[in-house]
Chain A
Amino acid sequence: NAGVTQTPKFQVLKTGQSMTLQCAQDMNHEYMSWYRQDPGMGLRLIHYSVGAGITDQGEVPNGYNVSRSTTEDFPLRLLSAAPSQTSVYFCASTKDRGLGYTFGSGTRLTVV
């Protein structure tokens, strides 16, 4: 198993550009989440999904969209990038609500 795979690892965007951060897991996990990590602020939940076709907002959803058309994939879309979205983004998944999450290795995004 590859676990949780995130691409790209690094990305630089200009303000106003859009892009999609990819996340895929091969563990047949139902639950998937996107977090952003900023210095001194820990990880904050952006969006999450409890299964294919079901998504919901987390703490900081503004400026981001998600979809979950398959169990394996959970892409995160930045609609119009802003410097405030400069961060490290982590995707995570778990098989069951009662278990901890497995995290990907992250995407470091810089918006200039």
Chain B
Amino acid sequence: GESVGLHLPTLSVQEGDNSIINCAYSNSASDYFIWYKQESGKGPQFIIDIRSNMDKRQGQRVTVLLNKTVKHLSLQIAATQPGDSAVYFCAERLNTGNQFYFGTGTSLTVIP
């Protein structure tokens, strides 16, 4: 299977600070990437996506950056709030199929 890894398994930030969650992927043929948020006891929730023909995409308080040269993906959360505390997963999809490969997740804790 594909290897999608996260650099840090846990991250703690102060409320109001910006958070950056990183993800490395291994296959240069991946063409579509998604960040998911998973709260305790719930299913993953779509946050933002980016296609391989882009290097940046912004949403509400979130930005995803894609660096295809080093096969790296990051999720930036602005003005982090207690409600952002969750596990964040990146997922990649090869351009040849419909299977998504997920990373192991980063647990984000927001300190009030």
> B98: CB under 8 A from chain A?
yes
Contact A41 B100 (CB under 8 A): no
What separation, in Å, do the CA atoms of A98 and B100 have in the docked complex? 11
What separation, in Å, do the CA atoms of A35 and B41 have in the docked complex? 15
Contact A42 B89 (CB under 8 A): yes
Interface bin, chain B? 20 to 34
| Interface stretch (choices B53-61, B65-73, B102-110) | B102-110
Q: Which of A4, A45, A90, A105 contacts B99 (CB 8 A)?
A: A45
Number of A-B contacts (CB under 8 A): 54
Using a Cβ–Cβ cut-off of 8 Å, how many residues does chain A contribute to the interface with B?
Answer: 26
Contact A43 B44 (CB under 8 A): yes
Contact B46 A43 (CB under 8 A): no
- Given that A59-B1, A106-B43 are known contacts, is A101 also in contact with B104, CB under 8 Å in the complex? no
> B12: CB under 8 A from chain A?
no
- Given that A42-B105, A106-B42 are known contacts, is A48 also in contact with B99, CB under 8 Å in the complex? yes
- Given that A42-B89, A90-B43, A90-B44 are known contacts, is A100 also in contact with B49, CB under 8 Å in the complex? yes
> A74: CB under 8 A from chain B?
no
- Select the residue from A50, A92, A100 with max chain B CB neighbours within 10 A: A100
